Structure 1
Amino acid sequence: MLKTTPVKDQGNSPLCWVYAMLATIETEHLMQGDSVNLSPDYVARMWLTERARFSYLSKGKHTISMRGMASMTLNIIQRYGLEPYDAYPNYKGVNYNVMARTATQIARAATSFDILENRLDDALNHNIGYLPPTLFMFGVEYTPLEFAHSVCLPGEYEALTSFTHYPFGQKFVLETPDNQLRDSFMNVPLDSMMNRIEQSLRNGHPVCWEGDISEPGFNTAAGCATLDNESTPITQQQRQRAFETLQTTDDHCMELCGIAHDIKGDKYFIAKNSWGKTRPFSGFMYLSFNYVRAKTIAVYLPKQL
């Protein structure tokens, strides 16, 4: 199993897309010998700020949602930077669904951009915490954007998916409700996607996984996710049918950080979750290869692989 930072807890927030992508970046650096632990709350604050501005400028026609895809985390940190976890921790257990409603109300009530910014900052400072005035790492002062570029360069990660309603070898905008920024994903055959995931992990690089957890076989109490029929590999056509009939939906994100085998020799991906150090494996889960074949919406992995 690859090295990871401690398991975090997203609480009641729908911010798995932030936690999982940051966990993937953290592991990538831990495997290179660097120590980095990143703040999900900084990313969440920047997202709230951006969407409140958008809501105001669109005359309040857009309600702010904290749901998203992991690709949005990459976009946000390239625009606004990052903070280390210790510099901007979540001590208050912020309810981000409430914060989204508050930000929406502030945006709709604001009569000028300055009023929006001031009222929003007051609400964010009170509920999440004040942003640190400076950022020092190893005796060097960074801006949040400089720090972000030191741990995640623009274009460092590639987003892959596998569906047949678009040509393979081309990028397309995934039609999921959580793709709020209309990000594009490289479309590859299912076997190619699975091979990229496995080879990434075997070469010491983590993968951010995004997919469906609505199946009965996604058993958090047992700490594993399997399909009813594990003996027959899911085909590209079966996977497509489940997506088109909305049986496969974009529910959750986790970091894939290892490969394991059960007593029968069946392979599983080890996933780091963001629901706290609970359940049988202290915050980790085992996803069968067949489950990942069937239920993956997208994966994110270092582009050089």
Structure 2
Amino acid sequence: MKKTFIIAIMAILAIGAQAQEKKTENKNKPVFTVVKENPITSIKDQNRSGTCWAYSTLSYFEAEILKKTGKTYDLCESFVANKDYMDRAIQVVRLHGDCQFAQGGSAYDVHYVLQNYGICPEEAMPFPGSLYGDSLNNFNEFFSLLEPYVAAVSKSNAKKISNQWKVGLQGILDAYLGKCPEEFTYQGKKYTPKSFAASLGLDWNDYVSITSFTHHPFYTAYAVEVQDNWRNPLSYNVPMDEMMKIIDNAIMNGYTVAWGGDVSEEGFTRNGLAYAIDTKKTESLQGSDMARWLKMTAQKKRNLIDSLGCTVPEVKATQEMRQERFDNWELTDDHGMLIFGIAKDQNGREYYMVKNSWGETGEYKGIWYMTKTFIAANTMDYTVNKNAIPKDIRKKLGI
């Protein structure tokens, strides 16, 4: 009898818990239908390093190889970082410290390294973090040594400096990232980094950068004015609607896009969603706490965005808005990701499916669903295969 009573009580509690769960279920949670999804390689984790540019762009080239050859590769981010940080330090020294030395970079940095130095598979260098007893990248100690080293050389009062500073810097790079191999064996065959890059089957001349701002003429190319664009590669400037048309055309034709832009906006959640929040509409919503939007903490805002889900009011992205936000420092270049698909929610709103490099985090295990409006408003530039650009736009660009 006592046992039966206990079972009954447990059943009542279970029913109550289920009822509570149903009661708190968010009816606005997006339900996605995939429109087009292109193959990508596995989710990686940049951890505590500012190397999203390396992870996202290598992921892009891995997807390009997958599309062209059907082969899956895991290319080495540490190789790219080792080569790139040395090149960047050399430029900083040449300019006597009058430019930035930092962890960040651009998609073109990866393109440049692949084309000029080659690449190796992940297995040909030490696993990220393993050299200093960590399980993933952690650049805190690494850059606390690297930045003052470069600053000391570049700001030196000496009338002449020797080349030995490069030897010392290379030692730091190798100690934390691993030494780049001159030769290695992969799947039973010997390669150098350059011969391995050549074996991947890609034409490095196929890749171009696209942007959209009005302070330069459309259908011309210029170097986007952001600090991490330190190699000064040229990006083709097109109107915003064509910038978006290129992304859509690429995805629908089986290509991916190496995207760079701003994820510091309140609408970019840590749970795998990104909306271009219309804060004015959000503030003015009647009968809710939204009227106190501007006074809310960042956490409360995120909670409200999550609760609104697919009903979040979004701004209308315009060319003028993009330019104004770029000029007043609101639109920044702070993250790189990989756009690989298109999906719709239950209300018909369209999103891009985007691969991040923060591990299998969030609701969608490392994938973000970012509305087309968010991408239109927050894109700095992106790399795409020129063959993925619609013919009419290619003709305007002369490529």
Say if 1:132 and 1:228 are closer, same or farther in 2 by CA, change over 3 A: same
Q: Distance in 2 between matches of 1:53 and 1:96?
A: 20
SS class of match (1:304): helix
Letter aligned with residue 333 of structure 2? D
Say if 1:137 and 1:153 are closer, same or farther in 2 by CA, change over 3 A: farther
Q: Distance in 2 between matches of 1:238 and 1:85?
A: 41
Letter aligned with residue 148 of structure 1? A
1:163 to 193, 213, 220: 213
Q: Which runs of 5 or more residues in structure 2 are unaligned? A: 1-36, 131-135, 279-312, 389-399
SS class of match (2:65): helix
Q: Distance in 2 between matches of 1:233 and 1:104?
A: 41
When structure 1 is superposed on structure 2, of 167-176 and 142-151 the one drifting more is: 142-151
Q: Could you tell me how far 1:116 is from its partner in structure 2?
A: 2.8
Is residue 2:101 matched to residue 1:64?
yes
Structure 2 counterpart of 1:18:
54
1:201 to 248, 251, 257: 251
Q: Distance in 2 between matches of 1:178 and 1:52?
A: 13
Is residue 2:311 matched to residue 1:274?
no
Cα deviation 1:121-165 (Å, max 9, x = unaligned)? 332332222333522344432221222233343322110001111
Answer with 1 or 2: which has the greater Rg: 2
2:128 to 65, 90, 93: 90
Q: Distance in 2 between matches of 1:61 and 1:262?
A: 48
Q: Which runs of 5 or more residues in structure 1 are unaligned? A: none
Structure 2 counterpart of 1:136:
185
Q: Could you tell me how far 1:204 is from its partner in structure 2?
A: 0.9
Is residue 2:378 matched to residue 1:295?
yes
Q: Distance in 1 between matches of 2:207 and 2:105?
A: 17
Letter aligned with residue 79 of structure 2? Y
In proportion to residue count, which structure has more helix? 2
Letter aligned with residue 384 of structure 2? L
Structure 1 counterpart of 2:82:
45
Aligned-residue identity in percent: 32
Letter aligned with residue 247 of structure 1? E
Q: Distance in 2 between matches of 1:133 and 1:241?
A: 47
The answer to whether the 8 A contact 1:48-1:100 is kept is no
Cα deviation 1:67-116 (Å, max 9, x = unaligned)? 12212221222222111112123142343354344234445469631x33
SS class of match (2:181): coil
Letter aligned with residue 128 of structure 2? N
CA RMSD of superposed structures (Å): 2.2
Structure 1 counterpart of 2:329:
246
Structure 2 counterpart of 1:177:
227
The answer to whether the 8 A contact 1:242-1:248 is kept is yes
SS class of match (1:257): strand
Structure 2 counterpart of 1:192:
242
The answer to whether the 8 A contact 1:64-1:103 is kept is no
Q: Could you tell me how far 1:58 is from its partner in structure 2?
A: 5.1
Structure 2 counterpart of 1:29:
65
Q: Distance in 2 between matches of 1:198 and 1:131?
A: 37
SS class of match (1:240): helix
Q: Distance in 1 between matches of 2:367 and 2:198?
A: 28
Q: Distance in 2 between matches of 1:61 and 1:171?
A: 25
Letter aligned with residue 273 of structure 1? N
Q: Distance in 1 between matches of 2:212 and 2:98?
A: 33
Cα deviation 1:145-202 (Å, max 9, x = unaligned)? 2222333433221100011111110001111122111221100111111011011111
Cα deviation 1:204-227 (Å, max 9, x = unaligned)? 111011111121111112x10002
Is residue 2:171 matched to residue 1:122?
yes
